[in-house]
Structure 1
Amino acid sequence: MPSYTTKYLAGDEYKRWDALVSQSPAYNIFDTTLWLDALSSVLNCKIKILGVFNKDALIGGVAFEAVEKFRLKIANVPPISYFNSCHYIPRNTQYKESQRRYVLDIFTSIAERLQSDFHYVVIANHPELKDIRGFLWKGWNQNLLYSYRTHLDKVELSLISKPKRLQIKRAQKKPIVIEVLEDVAPVYDVIKHTYARQGVTCPLAFDEMTEIFKRISNNIVIIAAKEEKNEGYKAVDISIVDYKKNCVYGLFSGFIPETPDPGINSLLQWKAIEYYKDKGYDFYDFGQAGGPSKASFKGQYDADLVPFYRVSKSSLPFSIAWHLTKGRIIQVQ
């Protein structure tokens, strides 16, 4: 193995990190300092970036949230982030095995340093990053997860599942207004109550969500729906636009349930897809589905299943704490 070195980047080195991420095959907005700085500043979470160096050249690395609970050090996916992927600058070579060995050595360096410094580590890799042998061969666990992704250049209403399509068409006949908002204030309660119905707390308080969105306002789109003669919004979709990747990731969505279902939430989601399609973006990523009902809703919008790997490593002290707290120790986000 080459003599690569690892170190945690200082603040004045973050521009080098962004330069690395922009060249990485696993580039995504959630690993840029635009996103990470917004989280750390508003949520007061400790973001660390581990860099892999070949002499003085930064050639790879990973960003994560560092947390300490019960004197155990945890490296986790930052809050409300799709990924905290490993990154590397591809080597200029025509030989596939040489490239694979280079990536393997970088990821092995990351695995060795993190499992030495932390009791528990989680890394959610971007779908483009498929070679995780550097972690597996160090005894890490792997989970294959799925994201739901609609390719906007191909999607048409006729491709939506028949029940969903009929629901959308019925809703289109009603006096429903779809608007793009500049502020989260009119729709925050819709999101909050949607989480409450699922028995969980919204990951962000109103002030936190407002401040984060202000810091990255050029990348945030809020689309909401309401009845024409009603001031209150009934459904909302909040997404982040990744301009470099030319794609959109859904961050928050919510709706107010009614009986019978007027289809306003289904219509809103379709109108959001149309909106991003008209803007020329490549795909809309719904994110993961936490259960069958969510999977069914997301899958009906002509969505593909996109697999990605999450790798993790736990020490014996952490495993003991996990059992004693019944898993609550990792509820740090």
Structure 2
Amino acid sequence: MKYTFEVITSPDMLWDKMASCYDHTVFKSKNWANFLKEFYKVAPFVVAVSEKEKEIGYFYGHKIKKLGVPIVASPFEGWSTSYQGLSMLKEITVNQRLDIYEELIAWLFKNKHCRYFQVSDWQLEVAECLHRNFTIELQKGYVLDLTKDKEELYKNMSYSSVRYSINKAKKKGVVVKEISDVKEYAHEYYKQLKEVFQRQGLAPTHSMEQTRTMLQHTFSENMVALYAVNPEGECLASAFFPYAGNYGFFSGGASYQSAQSYCPNELIMWNAIEMLKDKGVKYMEFGGGRRYKEKYGPTAYVKPKIIASSLPWLIPAKAFAKSAFYAVRKIGALLKGKSVNEGV
């Protein structure tokens, strides 16, 4: 093997080092780890990667068990957590990254750390994965290049559905504000989210307490959390964007149906884009592939999730369980006479 691996028993000493990596994301930060530990009771699983006895980076994930099966997930579904994976001290190619994953997976299975492995790593590309013996799941989304100047970013957004709405919101006296009280913000956001899901005959996939815990651990350093109010001070919409290093993410957003005439969502999004850019973020990922996000001028992408198992039946079994969950959810909504928006 070209690479050697060692589990880091005290990852607390590595937070600053991982944060300095070019491929760092907020989902590999200390604050996010504290959120996952408090709410989901999962701790970081960090593996040092060395080449020729020299440490070159770290794999960041979590060890969990589902139905008795030991899993290493980076991350796992349902955690409101996106791209994790490797944190490299120096920039490497996609193929070098895949070389590391091939050897890491073999090492994890050989040393019985898990029977199932999955990773979503922003630095991976589908084309390179197709030439490897990986099972991959495609993840579609949109990303906005914030290295462009603000004038260009604004101009690239649709006039009819974004710029017009921003101007209309301003004329109506809508003001966008930053979070000041986590508990109050989480409560108001969740009321809006419940209404959005109820219009589809569904319930939110996470609780208000989950949102509160996330914000409590991140809002002071790693979160742009915004809400829009009308001239009477009534909250219309909310959205939040975790960030760290070069990357920011649209993690959650909701608004009241009665507030749509104020066009608060577009104004919040533009404020968030400006703020993230001012904080040095270079790329904003839109959190899923719903096509309405195209109006903000991003670029569409497809990223691979690598999946591996030492039990041949486990990958199709998990895929079936995931499909069944969404099928039951959709059927339940249809029985209520509602239509479900696919994607995020």
Q: Considering the TM-score relative to the shorter chain, is it more than 0.5?
A: yes
CA RMSD in angstroms comes to: 3.5
Partner of 2:331: none
| Number of equivalenced pairs | 312
Partner SS for 1:300? helix
Aligned ranges for residues 1-333 of structure 1 at < 5 Å? 1-2=1-2, 4-10=3-9, 12-16=10-14, 18-19=16-17, 21-22=18-19, 24-54=21-51, 57-76=54-73, 77-78=75-76, 79-90=79-90, 103=97, 105-116=99-110, 117-126=113-122, 128-130=123-125, 137-143=132-138, 145-151=140-146, 153-156=148-151, 157-164=154-161, 165-184=163-182, 185-186=184-185, 187-188=188-189, 189-198=191-200, 201-202=203-204, 204-216=206-218, 217-231=220-234, 233-242=235-244, 244-245=245-246, 247-258=247-258, 261-277=261-277, 281-289=281-289, 294-296=290-292, 298-314=293-309, 315-319=311-315, 321-322=317-318, 325=321, 327=323
Superposed CA offset, 1:139-197 (max 9, x none): 43353533332426434333321221223322222132221121232433223433454
Partner SS for 1:254? strand
Under a length normalisation based on structure 2, what TM-score does the superposition of the two structures give?
Answer: 0.75
C-alpha deviation, 1:131, in angstroms? 8.8
Structure 1 residues 196 and 110 mapped into 2: Cα distance closer, same or farther (>3 Å)? farther
Q: Which runs of 5+ in 2 are unaligned?
A: 327-344
Structure 1 residues 183 and 102 mapped into 2: Cα distance closer, same or farther (>3 Å)? same
Distance across 2 between alignment mates of 1:155 and 1:302: 12
Whether the 8 Å contact between 1:322 and 1:329 is mirrored in structure 2 is no
Whether the 8 Å contact between 1:177 and 1:225 is mirrored in structure 2 is yes
C-alpha deviation, 1:324, in angstroms? 6.9
Give the counterpart letter for 1:30 in structure 2: F
Whether the 8 Å contact between 2:196 and 2:254 is mirrored in structure 1 is yes
Superposed CA offset, 1:281-320 (max 9, x none): 434332222xxxx322x22112223443321124324146
C-alpha deviation, 1:71, in angstroms? 2.0
Give the counterpart letter for 2:231 in structure 1: E
C-alpha deviation, 1:252, in angstroms? 1.5
Q: Which runs of 5+ in 1 are unaligned?
A: none
